[in-house]
């Protein structure tokens, strides 16, 4: 059964871990409140990627946190990860789903409205709204979508969403208020002096923002039901 929470999604980058072992940063982050982990290795051999995947899988098991593998279906299968994240230029969704089966989590990056409309036709499990802001962590991205993009995409998407790209303590709240179900971060946790504290602060922001969004949605629903045309009812702002 697929059971996952997108609230605070850590995407790894070993090169940003300030020399600390990846498993140390990941475990600290999970203790701080990370709800999902993606192993993203852009620059290593398949053997090394597999070795890291097995190590991180073992580290996450006691916490019941799902491991998602970036790009590499073979590694996801080999380490029995809970899922795979693919982008617009990666292995096609249909192929990944056929090989992984219906019980694995598949996430897909969306970079514009057209991608979201296409994603709505697929049985993916979540979308990554990519990138929300420009970021030095990944420079080969599409144009940043900004908060307007997050708002538009989360209204259009039939799948749950996470924003990714340039997210930190100062803007995490805006991403949730714009309609995303969670935030995905690399440097805000990987490069934090105290990854547990960084995760716990982000987790608090996300949860507080979700409470506020849900409150406004419920409050608004009561008021909107009698005053607003139905097309305006999705908005919380």
Ligand X SMILES: Cc1ncsc1CCOP(=O)(O)O
Ligand Y SMILES: Cc1ncc(COP(=O)(O)OP(=O)(O)O)c(N)n1
Q: What angle do CA 180, 184, 190 make, to 5 degrees?
A: 155
- Asked if 182 touches Mg ion (CB under 5 A), the answer is no
How many angstroms separate the Cα of 29 from the Cα of each of 25, 60, 153, 178? 6, 11, 28, 25
Residue in 57, 72, 85, 104 binding ligand Y, rule: CB under 6 A: 85
107 binds, among ligand X, ligand Y, Mg ion, none (CB under 5 to 8 A by kind): ligand Y
Report the alpha-carbon distance of residue 87 to residue 164 in Å, rounded: 13
- Dihedral of CA 100/91/180/113: which sign? negative
Complex with ligand Y: residue 84 or 192, whichever CB lies closer: 84
For the chain, count helices (H), then strands (E).
Answer: 9, 8
Report the alpha-carbon distance of residue 182 to residue 98 in Å, rounded: 27
- Asked if 76 touches ligand Y (CB under 6 A), the answer is no
- Asked if 40 touches ligand Y (CB under 6 A), the answer is yes
The site for ligand X (CB under 6 A) is made up of 11, 130-131, 135, 137-138, 141, 164-167, 185-188
- Asked if 28 touches Mg ion (CB under 5 A), the answer is no
Residue in 29, 116, 132, 184 binding ligand Y, rule: CB under 6 A: 184
Residue nearest to Mg ion (CB): 87
Closest CB 148 distance from ligand X, rounded Å = 17
Judged by CB under 6 A, the chain residues 148 through 177 that form the site for ligand Y are 162, 164
Q: Which residues contact 46 (CB under 8 A, 6 or more apart)?
A: 72, 74, 75
Q: Which residues contact 225 (CB under 8 A, 6 or more apart)?
A: 233
Across the strands, what pairs with 67? Answer: 37
Residue 116 marked in a binding site: no
**Rule CB under 6 A: which residues touch ligand Y?**
9, 11, 38, 40, 70-71, 85, 87, 90, 107, 109, 128, 130, 138, 162, 164, 184
Residues annotated within the binding site are 38-42, 70-71, 90, 109, 135-138, 166, 186-187
């Amino acid at each position: 059964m697929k059971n996952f929470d997108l609230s605070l999604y850590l995407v790894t980058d070993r090169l940003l871990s300030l020399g600390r072992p990846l498993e140390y940063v990941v475990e600290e982050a999970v203790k701080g409140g990370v709800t999902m982990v993606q192993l993203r290795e852009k620059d290593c051999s398949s053997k090394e990627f597999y070795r890291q995947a097995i190590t991180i899988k073992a580290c996450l098991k006691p916490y019941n946190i799902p491991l998602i593998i970036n790009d590499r279906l073979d590694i996801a299968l080999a380490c029995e990860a809970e899922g795979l994240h693919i982008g617009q230029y990666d292995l096609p969704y249909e192929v990944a789903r056929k090989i992984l089966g219906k019980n694995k989590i598949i996430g897909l990056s969306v970079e514009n409205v057209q991608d979201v409309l296409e994603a709505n036709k697929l049985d993916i499990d979540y979308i990554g709204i990519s990138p929300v802001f420009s970021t030095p962590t990944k420079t080969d991205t599409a144009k940043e979508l900004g908060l307007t993009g997050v708002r538009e995409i989360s209204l259009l998407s039939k799948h749950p969403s996470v924003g990714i790209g340039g997210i930190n303590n100062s803007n995490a709240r805006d991403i949730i208020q714009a309609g995303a179900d969670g935030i995905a971060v690399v440097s805000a946790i990987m490069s934090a002096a105290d990854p547990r504290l960084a995760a716990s602060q982000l987790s608090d922001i996300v949860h507080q923002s979700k409470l506020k969004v849900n409150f406004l949605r419920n409050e608004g629903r009561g008021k909107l039901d009698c005053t607003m045309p139905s097309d305006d009812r999705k908005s919380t702002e």
